[in-house]
Amino acid sequence: MFKVSLIIPVYNTEKYLEACLESVVNQTLRELEIILINDGSTDSSLRIMEKYKSRYPDRIQLLSKENGGQATARNMAITLCHGEYIGFVDSDDYIEPAMYEEMYKKAVETGADYVECDYVNVKINNHGQQERIADYGSRVREYTDKKDMFIDPMVAPWNKIYKRELIQNSGVVFPEGLIYEDTSFCLKAISLVDKPAFVPEKFVVHFFRGTSTMNANKSHRVADILDVLKDVITYYQKQGIYEEYRDELEYIIVKILLCSSLKRIAQIPDRKLRKQFCRDTWNMIQEFYPDYKHNKYLQGRSNLFRYMKCVTGWNIGLFCEILTLRKEKN
């Protein structure tokens, strides 16, 4: 019986895929199911996956599909998992050998529905050099309860395991056709977790590669975050638990919109589009959380809270332009 099922979507990562798969097949946890989804790769990624499938036929499932994005690949794989827990790996990342043994052990010891570990962020520049960089602005840590999981979570799925039956029976999926799908999945999946657990080891080496140049296509897709967050709100409303978690959702959704999302808007070269997305951002806040400045999680004296509470409809564009100027100087 498999203890953990690992989902690995793959699209044109031939340069990094073997290192990733080596780190997976050499995990000290042997009862590991590996589900590879070839998302329409046009390089040699499929050939690499087939090689590993032939070496480990009892542990690896391999499926190919037309390119549809990471969300479609993950959703397909979720239905195929047999392990007690489900985990996710990015095909250009590397994981430490004891990662899933330690996380599974923690899950069994505590009876947890969910276990999270720490990670290392590494940037690969255009010259192939590696450098440690700061985390996402959210600190992985041990949570006190379910509501605490909403407070500045690290939304990526690749440092977590979830009890399989919770995910498969819940209808929680990654929204397809949108970017920032990790945010939706993470925030919705919190509703399923009655007991979280944490291991402090930095088991994942997560890589950023290439440049962060914002082209026209990326610019327009920045606004996907609005639909992603509306998807989260709709999920909680349909589950009949929205009011129970309203304060927590208000805090994290407004924080995403005014912090990480506004930083991405500031990188858009087209000033007219920046202004439009700033208006759209403020309109969403006013539609769902017009009184967010009274939220109980915003009552501290940190600079972040002061900033969030001083943003208005007329100055949000100004804050965005300041961020744009800072980006241009750097």
CATH number of residue 36's parent domain: 3.90.550.10
pLDDT, average across residues 49-53: 98
Do residues 71 and 41 both lie within one domain? yes
What is the band of 326 on the pLDDT scale with cuts at 50, 70, 90?
Answer: confident
pLDDT, average across residues 128-145: 75
Question: Could you tell me what percent of the chain has a pLDDT over 70?
Answer: 94
Beta-carbon count within 10 A of 115 CB: 26
What is the torsion angle, in degrees rounded to the nearest 10, for the CA atoms of residue 322, residue 327, residue 328 and residue 330? 130
Q: Please say whether the beta carbons of 277 and 223 come within 8 A.
A: yes
Q: Please say whether the beta carbons of 284 and 254 come within 8 A.
A: no
pLDDT, average across residues 74-91: 98
Domain that holds residue 49: 4-209
Ranking 54-63, 82-91, 222-231, 317-326 by mean pLDDT, the lowest is: 317-326
pLDDT at 218: 84
pLDDT, average across residues 50-62: 98
Do residues 80 and 197 both lie within one domain? yes
Do residues 222 and 193 both lie within one domain? no
Separation between Cα atoms, residue 55 and residue 62, nearest integer Å: 12
pLDDT at 251: 98
Do residues 272 and 180 both lie within one domain? no
β-bridge pairing 94-95 and 196-209: antiparallel
Q: Of 165, 190, 209, at which residue does a domain stop?
A: 209
Residue keyed to tokens 């390119």: 67
Is 210's pLDDT higher than 60? Answer: no
pLDDT, average across residues 135-150: 83
Amino acid residing at 74:
R
Beta-carbon count within 10 A of 213 CB: 8
Higher local confidence (pLDDT), 135 or 41: 41
Q: Of 181, 209, 237, at which residue does a domain stop?
A: 209
Buried b (16+ CB within 10 A) or exposed e, 59-90: bbbbeeeeebbbbbbbbbbbeebebbbbbbbb
Report the domain count for the chain: 2
Buried b (16+ CB within 10 A) or exposed e, 232-262: bbebbeebeeeeebebbbbbbbbbbbbebbb
Do residues 185 and 289 both lie within one domain? no
Do residues 26 and 155 both lie within one domain? yes
Instruction: Detail the DSSP E strand segments found in the chain.
Output: 4-10, 32-39, 60-65, 85-88, 94-95, 114-124, 130-132, 160-163, 196-209
pLDDT at 136: 54
Q: Dihedrals φ, ψ of 6, to 5°? A: -105, 130
pLDDT, average across residues 129-139: 66
pLDDT at 132: 76
Write the burial class of residue 130 (CB in 10 Å: 0-12 exposed, 13-18 middle, 19+ buried): exposed
Do residues 186 and 240 both lie within one domain? no
Do residues 72 and 190 both lie within one domain? yes
Do residues 112 and 252 both lie within one domain? no
Is 40's pLDDT higher than 90? Answer: yes
Do residues 127 and 236 both lie within one domain? no
Average pLDDT, the chain: 93
pLDDT, average across residues 300-327: 92
pLDDT, average across residues 198-206: 95
Separation between Cα atoms, residue 191 and residue 49, nearest integer Å: 34
Do residues 39 and 179 both lie within one domain? yes
Residue 123's contacts (CB-CB under 8 Å, 6 or more residues apart) are 130, 131, 132, 133, 207, 208, 209
Is 213's pLDDT higher than 70? Answer: no
Is 193's pLDDT higher than 90? Answer: yes
Amino acid residing at 175:
P
Do residues 164 and 18 both lie within one domain? yes
pLDDT at 78: 98
Is 300's pLDDT higher than 90? Answer: no
Q: Of 163, 179, 209, at which residue does a domain stop?
A: 209
pLDDT, average across residues 297-313: 95
pLDDT, average across residues 165-174: 95
